[in-house]
């Protein structure tokens, strides 16, 4: 790894083994070309915005518990082409943003697409291991990542995430909701999800418990298409209902 201008490590080393995601990196659009998916949004940014806004609101409304400042380090685990991190910086996230992915090609695409302030520190990682030091991040998010992780490796990934979280740090997982029939249909049609396996909320809860994460909380999101802005305010009253197209599961690392 090499140091960047901030004196921190920027791990963009090539990896010999290519991943299936390398083939989707160039021009990656989240398969918005699917006519069914396109009914609900014009581009990938619209879908990412919903999740980024949820996270930003969570971090800012938790100010009494979370010290959100320029020294706050946030990692997007499985960052893909970096859209989530771009939105956080646009919202005004004051700290360091890091991205990690198993696909070198996705990271290179993220570098090309970045158009916000303070470029993220990007790292190529293994399937269940990273080169980050213990207690490196105050917040780690995984956006629609775990359904791409083989079920027998999910506990190992959670253990690794827990290792690099600071004590009291939070893990935020966004996932497709299998209870939503339209989600299942779109998921079934997606080429990039050919080898993926959806996770019901109970699986996330059980795996959090097994890895000794605490205070697990769930909310359901995306009850309405992102392009139907007039309905977005209604969503805050529906987050208890397990029928949203996606859900978010938040948990804390033991102090």
The string of pLDDT tens digits covering residues 136-178 is 999 999 999 999 999 999 999 999 999 999 999 999 999 999 9
d(CA 108, CA 48): 19
Quick check: is 240 in a domain?
A: yes
Instruction: Compute the Cα dihedral for 130, 135, 140, 144 and give only its sign.
Output: positive
Q: What is the pLDDT of residues 55-89, one digit of tens each?
A: 999 999 875 567 788 899 999 999 999 999 999 99
Residue 12 confidence (pLDDT) above 50? no
Quick check: is 5 in a domain?
A: no
pLDDT at 150: 96
The residues near 84 (Cβ < 8 Å, ≥ 6 apart) are 48, 51, 52, 55, 76, 141, 143
Strand duo 96-101 + 73-77: pairing: parallel
pLDDT at 39: 61
Average pLDDT over residues 93-120: 91
Residue 99 confidence (pLDDT) above 60? yes
Quick check: is 186 in a domain?
A: yes
**pTM given for the model:** 0.88
Greater pLDDT, 248 or 224:
248
- Domain housing 160: 24-253
Average pLDDT score, the chain? 87
Q: Are 126 and 102 in contact (CB under 8 A)?
A: yes
CATH code of the domain in which 203 resides: 3.40.50.150
Quick check: is 89 in a domain?
A: yes
Quick check: is 11 in a domain?
A: no
pLDDT at 65: 63
d(CA 12, CA 125): 9
Q: Are 186 and 197 in contact (CB under 8 A)?
A: no
């Amino acid at each position: 790894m090499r140091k960047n201008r901030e004196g921190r490590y920027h791990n963009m080393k090539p990896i010999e083994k290519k991943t299936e995601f390398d083939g989707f990196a160039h021009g990656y659009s989240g398969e918005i070309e699917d006519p069914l998916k396109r009914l609900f949004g014009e581009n990938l940014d619209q879908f990412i915005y919903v999740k980024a806004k949820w996270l930003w609101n969570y971090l800012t409304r938790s100010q009494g518990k979370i010290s959100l400042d320029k020294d706050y380090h946030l990692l997007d685990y499985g960052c893909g082409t970096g859209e989530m991190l771009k939105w956080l910086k646009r919202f005004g996230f004051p700290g360091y943003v890091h991205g990690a992915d198993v696909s070198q090609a996705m990271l290179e695409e993220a570098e090309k697409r970045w158009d916000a302030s303070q470029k993220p520190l990007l790292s190529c990682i293994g399937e269940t291991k990273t080169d980050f030091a213990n207690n490196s991040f105050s917040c780690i998010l995984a956006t629609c990542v775990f359904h791409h992780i083989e079920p027998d490796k999910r506990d190992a990934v959670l253990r690794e995430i827990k290792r690099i979280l600071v004590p009291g740090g939070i893990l935020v997982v966004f996932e497709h909701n299998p209870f939503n029939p339209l989600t299942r249909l779109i998921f079934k049609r997606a080429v990039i999800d050919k080898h993926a396996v959806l996770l019901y909320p109970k699986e996330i809860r059980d795996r959090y418990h097994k890895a000794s994460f605490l205070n697990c909380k769930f909310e359901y999101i995306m009850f309405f298409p992102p392009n139907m802005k007039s309905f977005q305010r209604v969503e805050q009253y529906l987050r208890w209902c397990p029928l949203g197209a996606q859900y978010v599961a938040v948990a804390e690392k033991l102090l």
